[in-house]
Amino acid sequence: MPIRPIIAYPDARLRLPAEPVGTFDSDLAGLANDLLHTMRAAPGIGITGPHIGIMKAITVIETDEKTGPRTFINPQIVNASTEMMRHMEGSVSMPGFTDEIERPSTVTIRYQMLDGLWCEEEAQGLLSVCLQHEIDQINGIFWLQRLSRLKRERLLKRYEKSLKVG
């Protein structure tokens, strides 16, 4: 269960779409396990293959201890509510920087489990936000792209300044 290095923004790989997973084997299960341990060490509540430079459509999410970690392979949003919610978001690839993003409050997702079985479920609240955020990342949309131009520019100035200081 090694902790993998996380790619830092503005690495170009964070803006590339991931490839669908086609092979469901022990290597995929090992990748999911590595993602879980890397996410917890970051710390974070969601991580994707692209965050560690593995351009595969996989995400591991852990929004609460009761539910525990969940792995979603080839996830896609099939329906989204018209009701919106705001939530603070950030990224393990840009630690310490967050901003408020508006997203649908409920989504229906279709995904595969580690054994390849397809599932469909509805998610609300924090799980909905997290799934949308990580599916965006799998599709090559870094969370900053969901901010207004002004908010993005302000955040990027602070981020760039922190890199020069650090």
Hey, which residues are catalytic here? 134
Cα(46)–Cα(127) distance, rounded to whole angstroms?
Answer: 10
Reference 14, options 136, 97, 150, 163; nearest CA is 136
Cα(59)–Cα(71) distance, rounded to whole angstroms?
Answer: 6
Structure token pair of residue 20: 């669908």
Cα(97)–Cα(91) distance, rounded to whole angstroms?
Answer: 8
Exposed, middle or buried, 80 (CB in 10 Å: 0-12/13-18/19+)?
Answer: middle
Cα(117)–Cα(95) distance, rounded to whole angstroms?
Answer: 33
Cα(117)–Cα(133) distance, rounded to whole angstroms?
Answer: 23
What one-character DSSP code corresponds to residue 139?
T
